[in-house]
Amino acid sequence: MYYNEKIETMDRESLRKLQGERLANIVKHTYENVEFYRKRMDEAGVKPSDIRSIDDISKLPFMQKQDLRDYYPFGTFAAPMKDIVRFHASSGTTGKPIVAGYTQKDLDNWSEGVARCLTAYGATKEDIIQVSYGYGLFTGGLGAHDGATRIGAAVLPTSSGNTSKQIMLMKDLGTTVLCCTPSYALFLAESIENDPETNLKEDIKLRFGVFGAEPWTENMRKELEAKLNIKAYDIYGLTEVSGPGVGGECEYQDGTHLWEDLFYPEIIDPVTLQPVEPGQQGELVFTTLTKEGMPVIRYRTRDLTHLNYEKCRCGRTMVRMGRIMGRSDDMLIIRGVNVFPSQIESVILEIPEFTGQYFVTVDRVNNIDTFQVDVELRPEYYGDDMGRMLRLKDRLVGRLVSVLGIRPEIRIVEPNSITRSQGKAKHVLDKRLLNP
C-alpha cells in the first residue's frame, strides 16, 4: 500500500529534477538566514547561485554534530522564532543537547514521512497503534503519534515504562501495532511471556511492530517476530534530520526506503570524505530538502550503511538503505580490532539458550585492553550443570572469535540480572574513556 503513490513511485529522472529544485531553494534559504552556513559556504567559495542541480551538492561543505553544539541553541535556525511551533532535543549525554526547531510545514512533512512508513507496513485507520516510545524532547513518541494520527488510526500514547500497564492496555484495548525501541519490545515480550494472566496467542492482537531509535540486527528481528507473533519493521530517523519517518521498510523487508523528496542521502568514505561506489558501505550523509526551521546540509550522521538504487518489488523507486551496521563513533577499537555492539548481539541471538540481553565492558589493565561480555541464559537452561554451562560458553566464544577476530571474556549471568531498558538500550561501558 502507498500513502502517497505519486511521490513514492516517481521515476528517478523526475525525482532528481525535484531534488535539484529543492536543494537550490534550501541552500538559498539557509545562506540568507544562517550565519554559520554563510561563513562555511564563503570559505568553500560556493554561492547559492552555483547550485543548479542535485549533482552540485558535492560543492557544499559538510556539517557535523559538533557544529550544532557549537551554535547551541538557535544558531543554526533558519526561521524566525515566531514561526517555530515545536522544539525537540537529543539526550545531550556527551555535551550540550542538539536542539531542533520545527515550523508547522516541517511538522506536516515529518508526519507525512511517518504516515508513508506506517502505510507501507500495512497500517490503516482500522488499527490501534500503541506508541511506547518516550514522549517529550525525544522525537520518537510525538513523531510516531502524529504519523499514526495522519493516517486516521487510533493512537494509544502509553510512552515508555510502566510495563505492566502497557500489557494490560495492550490486551484490553486490542492494540494491533506497537511502536517502540527493539530493546523495549524484547523486554515487553519477556514480560508477556512471564505474565501468568496473559496468553500471547489469545490475549494479544498485535499484527506488527515498528522499531527504531537504536541499531538492531536481523537476528533481533527474528527473535521479536517469534516472541510476539508479529512482523517486525524497521523505521529510521534522527533528531538532527527529522526524527522517525526519514525512511521505513515495505512488506518485502529488503532495505529501508528513504523518502528522497524530503531528505537527500549520500554515502561517503568516513576517512577520505569522498563518495563511495553505489552499493558500497560507508557513512550516511543527509541534506534536508524542505526543512524550514533547522535545515541541515550534508550532515554526517556517523551511521554506517549502504544504498541500493534498484526499483523495489513493491513498486517504490525511493532508494533503499541497508541495515545500519553501527555508528562510526560507536565502534570500539579493542587491541587494534574494530568491534561493533551489533555484531555481538547478532551472535548471541544465534544461540537459543541465551535471552539476547548482554552487556559489554571494556577496560585497560597494565596497558592491555580487556574485553568482557555478560550474557544471560534463559531460566530453563540456568542451573547447576556446569558442564553444559562451559560448553555454551565455549560455543559463544568460538562464534565471537570467528566474527570479531578477537577473544572476549564471557560471563554467563543469572536470568533477569542485566538491566532492561525502557528506552534506548545501553549495552556498553568503555572504562578507558573514564580513565584515559
For 318-327, the pLDDT digits (tens) are 999 998 877 7
Single residue among 292, 307, 327 that ends a domain in this structure: 327
Say which residue the cell 513493491 belongs to: 314
pLDDT per position as a tens digit, 110-131 = 999 999 999 999 999 999 999 9
**Confidence band, pLDDT 50/70/90 cuts, at residue 93:** low
DSSP one-letter code for 279: T
Residue 171: pLDDT above 60? yes
Regarding whether 88 and 46 lie in a shared domain, the answer is: yes
What are the DSSP calls for 147-169, one per residue?
HHHHTT-EEE---S--HHHHHHH
In a domain, 435, yes or no: no
DSSP three-state, residue 85: coil
Average pLDDT of the residues of the chain = 93
What lies within 8 Å, CB to CB, of 190 at 6+ separation is 227, 355, 420
In a domain, 436, yes or no: no
- Chain-centroid distance, C-alpha 44: 32
What number is the average pLDDT over the span 217-244? 95
pLDDT of res. 249: 98
Residue 186: pLDDT above 80? yes
**CATH number of domain containing 4:** 3.40.50.12780
Q: Which three cell numbers stand for residue 240?
A: 538532527
Q: Which three cell numbers stand for residue 112?
A: 507525512
Q: Which three cell numbers stand for residue 403?
A: 566474527
Closest C-alpha to 345, from 279, 418, 251? 418
Asked if 195 and 173 touch (Cβ cutoff 8 Å), the reply is no
Distance from the first to the final alpha carbon of the chain:
52
In a domain, 42, yes or no: yes
**Confidence band, pLDDT 50/70/90 cuts, at residue 94:** low
Q: Which residue did the predictor score with more confidence, 384 or 56? A: 56
Regarding whether 306 and 349 lie in a shared domain, the answer is: no
pLDDT per position as a tens digit, 302-340 = 899 999 999 999 999 999 999 887 777 677 889 878 888
pLDDT per position as a tens digit, 393-403 = 999 999 999 99
**Confidence band, pLDDT 50/70/90 cuts, at residue 44:** very high
DSSP one-letter code for 46: -
Regarding whether 183 and 141 lie in a shared domain, the answer is: yes
pLDDT of res. 356: 87
Regarding whether 11 and 28 lie in a shared domain, the answer is: yes
**Confidence band, pLDDT 50/70/90 cuts, at residue 245:** very high
Residue 66: pLDDT above 70? yes
pLDDT of res. 230: 98
Spatial separation of the C-alpha atoms in residues 186 and 197, rounded to whole Å: 19
DSSP one-letter code for 57: G
Regarding whether 336 and 323 lie in a shared domain, the answer is: no
Regarding whether 262 and 151 lie in a shared domain, the answer is: yes
pLDDT of res. 366: 80
What lies within 8 Å, CB to CB, of 92 at 6+ separation is 98
In a domain, 250, yes or no: yes
**Confidence band, pLDDT 50/70/90 cuts, at residue 92:** low
Single residue among 312, 327, 342 that ends a domain in this structure: 327
Q: How far is CA 364 from CA 59, 88, 434, in A?
A: 43, 37, 11
**Confidence band, pLDDT 50/70/90 cuts, at residue 433:** low
Residue 431: pLDDT above 70? yes
Regarding whether 163 and 286 lie in a shared domain, the answer is: yes
Residue 434: pLDDT above 80? no
Regarding whether 142 and 240 lie in a shared domain, the answer is: yes
**Confidence band, pLDDT 50/70/90 cuts, at residue 34:** very high
Regarding whether 399 and 384 lie in a shared domain, the answer is: yes
Closest C-alpha to 297, from 45, 96, 68, 97? 68
pLDDT of res. 103: 98
Say which residue the cell 540456568 belongs to: 382
**Confidence band, pLDDT 50/70/90 cuts, at residue 425:** confident
E-strand ranges in 331-432 read 332-334, 337-339, 354-365, 368-377, 409-413, 428-430
In a domain, 184, yes or no: yes
Asked if 164 and 425 touch (Cβ cutoff 8 Å), the reply is no
Spatial separation of the C-alpha atoms in residues 297 and 284, rounded to whole Å: 13
Least confident of 3-17, 230-244, 324-338: 324-338
Q: Which residue did the predictor score with more confidence, 415 or 247? A: 247
Single residue among 327, 354, 376 that ends a domain in this structure: 327
Spatial separation of the C-alpha atoms in residues 38 and 33, rounded to whole Å: 8
What number is the average pLDDT over the span 90-103? 80
Spatial separation of the C-alpha atoms in residues 431 and 429, rounded to whole Å: 6
Domain count, the chain: 2
Spatial separation of the C-alpha atoms in residues 401 and 335, rounded to whole Å: 13
Regarding whether 377 and 253 lie in a shared domain, the answer is: no
> Which of left, alpha, beta for 273 (phi over 0: left; psi -120 to 50: alpha)?
left
Where in the sequence is the domain holding 300, given as residue range(s)? 1-327
pLDDT per position as a tens digit, 284-296 = 999 999 999 999 9
pLDDT of res. 95: 64
Asked if 262 and 290 touch (Cβ cutoff 8 Å), the reply is yes
Residue 20: pLDDT above 90? yes
Closest C-alpha to 139, from 66, 64, 236? 236
Percent of the chain whose pLDDT exceeds 90? 78
**Helix orientation angle between 341-348 and 218-228, rounded to the nearest 10 degrees:** 40
Least confident of 67-71, 72-76, 137-141, 425-429: 425-429
Q: How far is CA 153 from CA 6, 126, 133, 212, 248, in A?
A: 22, 6, 17, 20, 18
To which H or E segment does residue 257 belong? Answer: strand 256-258
pLDDT of res. 331: 76
Regarding whether 262 and 404 lie in a shared domain, the answer is: no
In a domain, 150, yes or no: yes
In a domain, 232, yes or no: yes
**Phi, psi of 411, rounded to the nearest 5 degrees:** -115, 120
**CATH number of domain containing 369:** 3.30.300.30
In a domain, 30, yes or no: yes
Spatial separation of the C-alpha atoms in residues 423 and 125, rounded to whole Å: 27
Q: Which residue did the predictor score with more confidence, 429 or 128? A: 128
Regarding whether 148 and 49 lie in a shared domain, the answer is: yes
